Structure 1
Amino acid sequence: MALSPPSPGQFFLVGCPRSGTTLLQSLLASHSQVISFPESHFFVKTLPRLAWGRSWKPWILWLRRSTTAMAPKRMAAFLGKVNRPDLAATLPPAPWSQNQYAHLINAVLADLMGQQHKQIWLEKTPDHLHAIPQIQRLLPEAKFIHILRNGSDVVASLYEVRLKHPELWRKEKADRDRAVDRWIQDISLSYRYRHHPRHHLVRYEQLVRDTPGTIAPLCDFMGIPYEEQMLENYRHSSQQVVLAQETWKANVTQAIAPTQSLKFNALFSASEQAQIRERLQGLAIDDSDPLFHNLRT
């Protein structure tokens, strides 16, 4: 396919699942200069492993071939999600190296961006939080937006979504300890980047309490002007980034408002709540920073 020029803005929205990533994505996607898409998972599990190199051990060669074969499949599946399956026929033949794969991702997203006359593409896959070093190496111009949410609310939401959708979350069963571990791990990763100039951290509770005051500095970070229409059009934008089968994201169309820990209180007994909150204290952060204040509650 004909490659587009480098994208003026490459942004990845990351964070622990059930932290408000879809709401923030929908708000940003409603900006006149931003295009966004359903989750791609481009750099999760399908990053080509050709760089593993020169071992001829059979199991390593099999793994390299397996993960490399997934790259074009992942790209073709993504093009179907964005209603451009025609572009799949123009993809170069596999195998792809990691650099080729990253270049192709940027080319495809920049092409989609250019067709809509946008200035920025925004990719939102929460698990890309765990692939930041690889993304930074392969796309050095990329910037990252992290969203952080109160631990008890995230644990309750992770637990509930796995109860309601076990067929889609079969690899992560409804287990409150596992949910706590996931939140601690992901917040710890975001914490490392709190002072990095190419990373911007957003607190979910601030986003829903003062949406304009939270979005405006984020727009500055992205190099675009704040637009009031974002507060009205995010419901429409959510239809472009949420797939029909992702029913657990349906509440993104609701009015933005502060939430209380009703789900946490409803799902867990008093003793379970106490155990969860005790484990949340294991997160090693300095909560004197307003972004991290009361995050472990």
Structure 2
Amino acid sequence: MSSGPDPRHDRPIFVLGCPRSGTTLLQLMLHSHSRIAIPAETKFLIPAYSRRCEFGDLRERENRRALAEWITAGKTTKFHALGLDAGEIVDEIVAGPPTLGSAIGIVFRAYARRHGKPRWGDKRPSYFRHVGTLLRLFPDAQFVHLVRDGRDCVASLMEMPWYDKDLHHAVSAWREAIDRGRRLAERLGPDTYYEMQYERLVADPADELTRLCGFLGEDFDPAMARPEGLAKRTVPPRKKWHGRTHDSVTTSRIGSWAERLDSWEISLAEAAFGERLAEYGYEPSGLPKPPASQLARFTKTSTHRRMAQRKAALRERWKQHHEPNPVECLLAAQSTVTPTM
């Protein structure tokens, strides 16, 4: 028996990975846990951080109110999907600590409270690019990186109605997620960063989720391995790209890239991924290497993306010198459970 509450249980959980790597399935599995609440993508955390200088000094109540109203009423934030009372959240943020992390933490804490759970998290594939930001806001956070065969991710991305880029960008996205993940694993260590593979997760959900719960400091909840019931209630039918979450966990999509991608697309992806596929145990197709002209085009796209990311990093450093407040969450505890005296 534990002698007291484990502080690990209060740590925010962030799910990340290349788009179409199964992060929605993992989010549903985690949300099925009796102690963890993780909503669908809310899309206000990084935009709020990017705009933090616009809200002014958060020691001023009216500035906290402006931030709170932007979170709760902004057309792009998807706050409405959380099922929370906007007025109550605004009041709570205005009365809370004067930092951006505190305001964001109040929203997610309220979401967890609504579900009767003591711990919260958030999911967005692109968070793999923003781990530094998330750690500035929540220094005690834990990160779960879901990795899937890059060829399956690329094939799925190219079929998405919302994906407006080409194959070269899709290939770059997976490679970037893998490379960032390696650096994060080295920098953050096994208490903060955890990597798991989609193929193993769907092949043996209970075993993989038990390991994940060990990392999170939680007991395994069998409901996690049966997320389809939750998906039917929470994943809207209009999001057809998440339709398979309504069914039992299955391995049927593993390796489907072989039928969904053309030979030249497979060759280009494998050449760009290099040893990364083999290091995760993904078998090569055996196709010949792509023409040099195709590789040159991919290299051009990859270089442009890298340059854009460097420019964004420079802008971020400038903002850090000009931000009006510290950003770290100052809530006494992320837990929604009132401690007994």
Q: TM-score, normalised by structure 1?
A: 0.76
CA–CA separation in structure 2 for the residues paired with 1:129 and 1:122: 15
Residue in 2 aligned with 1:188?
179
Q: Give the direction of change, closer, same or farther, for the CA distance of 1:106–1:50 in structure 2 (3 Å limit).
A: closer
Give how far 1:286 is off.
Answer: 8.8
Residues 170-216 of structure 1, C-alpha deviations (whole Å, 9 max, x = no match): xx33x111110111011111121224221111111110112111100
Give the counterpart letter for 1:190 in structure 2. G
The residue matched to 1:229 in structure 2 has which SS?
Answer: helix
Corresponding position: 1:257 with 2:250: yes
CA–CA separation in structure 2 for the residues paired with 1:244 and 1:188: 34
Corresponding position: 1:212 with 2:206: yes
Q: Give the direction of change, closer, same or farther, for the CA distance of 1:38–1:295 in structure 2 (3 Å limit).
A: farther
Q: Percent identity?
A: 24
CA–CA separation in structure 2 for the residues paired with 1:116 and 1:200: 25
Q: Does the 8 Å contact 2:278/2:284 carry over to 1? A: no
Give how far 1:49 is off.
Answer: 3.8
5+ residue gaps, structure 2, are 1-8, 57-65, 286-341
1:1-297 mapped onto 2 (5 Å cutoff): 8-51=10-53, 72-76=69-73, 77-84=77-84, 86-88=85-87, 90-91=89-90, 100-161=99-160, 165=161, 168-169=162-163, 172-173=164-165, 175-195=166-186, 196=189, 197-232=191-226, 234-239=227-232, 241-259=234-252, 263-281=256-274, 283=276, 287=279, 292-294=280-282
Give how far 1:231 is off.
Answer: 2.0
Q: Does the 8 Å contact 1:38/1:243 carry over to 2? A: no
The residue matched to 2:194 in structure 1 has which SS?
Answer: strand
Q: Does the 8 Å contact 1:19/1:154 carry over to 2? A: yes
CA–CA separation in structure 2 for the residues paired with 1:181 and 1:219: 31
CA–CA separation in structure 1 for the residues paired with 2:140 and 2:201: 26
Q: Does the 8 Å contact 1:194/1:200 carry over to 2? A: yes
CA–CA separation in structure 2 for the residues paired with 1:192 and 1:72: 36
CA–CA separation in structure 1 for the residues paired with 2:102 and 2:233: 24
Q: Does the 8 Å contact 2:89/2:107 carry over to 1? A: no
Residues 77-99 of structure 1, C-alpha deviations (whole Å, 9 max, x = no match): 43311222x3246526999xxx7
Residue-pair matches, total: 261
Q: Give the direction of change, closer, same or farther, for the CA distance of 1:262–1:148 in structure 2 (3 Å limit).
A: closer
Give how far 1:24 is off.
Answer: 1.0
The residue matched to 2:143 in structure 1 has which SS?
Answer: strand
Q: Give the direction of change, closer, same or farther, for the CA distance of 1:120–1:50 in structure 2 (3 Å limit).
A: closer
The residue matched to 2:245 in structure 1 has which SS?
Answer: helix
Residues 143-184 of structure 1, C-alpha deviations (whole Å, 9 max, x = no match): 1111000111111011111xxx1xx33xx33x1111101110
Give the counterpart letter for 1:43 in structure 2. L
Q: TM-score, normalised by structure 2?
A: 0.67
CA–CA separation in structure 1 for the residues paired with 2:219 and 2:93: 40
Give how far 1:48 is off.
Answer: 4.1
Give the counterpart letter for 1:266 in structure 2. E
Q: Give the direction of change, closer, same or farther, for the CA distance of 1:219–1:83 in structure 2 (3 Å limit).
A: same
CA–CA separation in structure 1 for the residues paired with 2:123 and 2:10: 17
Give the counterpart letter for 1:237 in structure 2. L
Q: Does the 8 Å contact 1:30/1:237 carry over to 2? A: yes
Which is greater in Rg? Answer: 2
CA–CA separation in structure 2 for the residues paired with 1:52 and 1:286: 46
Give how far 1:134 is off.
Answer: 0.9
CA–CA separation in structure 2 for the residues paired with 1:79 and 1:53: 18
The residue matched to 1:202 in structure 2 has which SS?
Answer: strand
Give the counterpart letter for 1:120 in structure 2. R
CA–CA separation in structure 2 for the residues paired with 1:27 and 1:272: 32
